[in-house]
Amino acid sequence: MRKEKTVDFHIKWVWHSISKMYNGFAARFDMTMATSYVLLNIDLENGTPATKIGPSLGMEPRSMVRMLKTLEERGLIYREVDDNDKRFVRIVLTAKGKEKRELAREGVISFNNLIRHKIPLDKLVVFFDVMQQINAIVEEENQKLRSEGSANADVLEG
| Residue-range domain boundaries for the chain | 3-118, 121-158
State the pLDDT at residue 82.
Answer: 81
State the pLDDT at residue 104.
Answer: 95
Tens of pLDDT along the chain (158 residues)? Answer: 888 889 999 999 999 999 999 999 999 999 999 999 999 999 999 899 988 888 888 888 888 889 999 999 999 999 998 888 888 889 999 999 999 999 999 999 999 999 999 999 999 999 999 999 999 999 999 999 988 876 665 555 65
Model pTM score: 0.80
The Cα angle at residue 140 between residues 55 and 144, in degrees rounded to 5: 95
Report the top-level CATH class of 3-118. Answer: mainly alpha
Instruction: State the DSSP string of 23-49.
Output: HHHHHTTT--HHHHHHHHTS-TTT-EE
Q: Which letter does DSSP use for residue 41 in this model? A: T
The dihedral built from the CA positions of residue 5, 34, 42 and 112, taken in this order, carries a sign that is negative
